[in-house]
């Protein structure tokens, strides 16, 4: 039985009202206009970084449909969300399912996490024709959420390599990392790949062979490569550090802020700055420097300073 959403009508059909894009750039509410200034600063930071690094960042001028598979489209509210794994993307996908479900879902937290990641539950931009893609990129409000790059990396490592249930990751990546980075690995480690050390993971990421072999997995791929901020102009850049405010601001712009709030819950397992510092203790300064180079554009673009624990020469 499908549960009716009491706000089904509101959530589905906003025709006639102002679009999120209009509300963002010409706010009608004073409360929204202060926040608009903050987001203008974040947008400018991205633009400036793209310009300053244009040699490296504009190698590929034309985006292919494959580049757009992380951009989730909400037709009814004219929004596009680029999801970045390890930056509250499960909850944002849940919220997008409420927004696009036309009343099928009303509470994001009632949607099981694994269901939020079923690709057929959300429509992505690569499923449209070229004219349709261009129309949406021009007229819809585009947003993404970012996080301190190394904190996100440690979070991905902890989730994918230290949890026993992630056997598919251990098989797919763990075995490869052990084979390449561990001298005298045991047969069991080579077979299971379930005990990858953080130092080995870092060595794998900075190994030029890795980059040549295949693109990074989305959980540790740079935001720059997942969402293409130098080619796609994002109207709003939310941050993990201010997740609640930024998320609810997006929902306000969409006109659903009165009855849809971004789910919050205190997770004790969350990767923190202190934890990240600890993980980097055993990484040599050379490897730290090489790793910083890999994620440098994400640091610069989203205004994250070089972490104080790095031993950069």
Can you tell me the distance from the alpha carbon of 79 to that of 254, in angstroms, rounded to the nearest whole number?
8
Tokens of 253: 């712009």
Distances (CA, A) of 306 to 38, 149, 229: 21, 10, 21
Number of domains in the chain: 2
Residue 284: inside a domain: yes
Can you tell me the distance from the alpha carbon of 119 to that of 155, in angstroms, rounded to the nearest whole number?
23
pLDDT band for position 9 (cuts 50, 70, 90):
very low
Residue 228: inside a domain: yes
Q: What is the DSSP letter of 302?
A: T
**Angle 149-161/285-301 helices, nearest 10 degrees?**
120
**Whether the Cβ atoms of residue 92 and residue 84 lie closer than 8 Å to each other:** no
Residue 284's domain spans which residues? 150-219+271-295
Alpha-helical (H) ranges within the chain are: 8-12, 20-25, 30-52, 54-57, 89-100, 113-116, 130-139, 149-161, 167-169, 175-181, 187-192, 198-206, 208-213, 223-227, 243-253, 273-280, 285-301
Same domain, 178 and 87: no
Tell me the per-residue pLDDT of 272-306, one tens digit each, with 9 for 90 and over.
Answer: 889 999 999 999 999 999 999 999 999 999 999 99
Tell me the per-residue pLDDT of 109-158, one tens digit each, with 9 for 90 and over.
Answer: 999 999 999 999 999 999 999 999 999 999 999 999 999 999 999 999 99
Same domain, 85 and 60: yes
Tell me the per-residue pLDDT of 223-271, one tens digit each, with 9 for 90 and over.
Answer: 999 999 999 999 999 999 999 999 999 999 999 999 899 998 766 678 8
Tokens of 280: 């980097």
Can you tell me the distance from the alpha carbon of 282 to that of 277, in angstroms, rounded to the nearest whole number?
10
Residue 304: inside a domain: no
Residue 51: inside a domain: yes
Same domain, 140 and 159: no
Same domain, 45 and 92: yes
pTM: 0.91
CB atoms within 10 A of CB 176: 16
SS3 of 240-266: the string is HHHHHHHHHHHHHHCCCCCCCCCCCCC
């Amino acid at each position: 039985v499908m549960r009716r959403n009491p706000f089904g009508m509101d959530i589905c059909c906003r025709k006639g009202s102002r679009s999120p894009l209009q509300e963002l750039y010409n706010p009608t509410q004073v409360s929204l206009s202060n926040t608009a200034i903050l987001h203008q600063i974040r947008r400018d930071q991205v633009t400036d970084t793209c310009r300053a690094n244009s040699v490296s960042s504009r190698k590929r001028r034309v985006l292919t449909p494959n580049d757009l598979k992380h951009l989730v489209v909400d037709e009814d509210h004219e929004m596009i969300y680029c999801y970045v794994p390890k930056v509250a993307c499960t909850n944002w996908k849940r919220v997008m399912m409420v927004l696009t479900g036309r009343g099928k879902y009303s509470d994001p937290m009632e949607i099981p996490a694994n269901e939020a990641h079923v690709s057929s539950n959300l429509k992505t931009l690569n499923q449209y024709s070229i004219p349709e893609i261009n129309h949406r990129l021009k007229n819809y409000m585009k947003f993404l959420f970012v996080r301190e790059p190394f904190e996100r990396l440690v979070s991905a490592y902890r989730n994918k390599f230290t949890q026993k249930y992630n056997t598919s990751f251990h098989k797919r990546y763990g075995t490869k990392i052990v084979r390449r980075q561990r001298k005298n690995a045991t047969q069991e480690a080579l077979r299971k790949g379930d005990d990858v050390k953080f130092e080995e993971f870092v060595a794998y990421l900075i190994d030029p062979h890795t980059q040549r072999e295949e693109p990074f997995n989305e959980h540790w791929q740079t935001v720059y490569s997942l969402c293409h901020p130098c080619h796609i102009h994002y109207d709003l850049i939310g941050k993990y550090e201010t997740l609640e405010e930024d998320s609810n601001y997006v929902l306000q712009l969409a006109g659903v802020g009165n009855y849809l709030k971004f789910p919050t819950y205190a997770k004790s397992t969350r990767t923190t700055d202190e934890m990240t510092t600890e993980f980097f203790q055993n990484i040599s300064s050379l490897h730290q420097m090489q790793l910083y180079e890999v994620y440098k554009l994400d640091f610069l673009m989203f205004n994250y300073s070089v972490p104080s624990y790095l031993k950069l020469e």
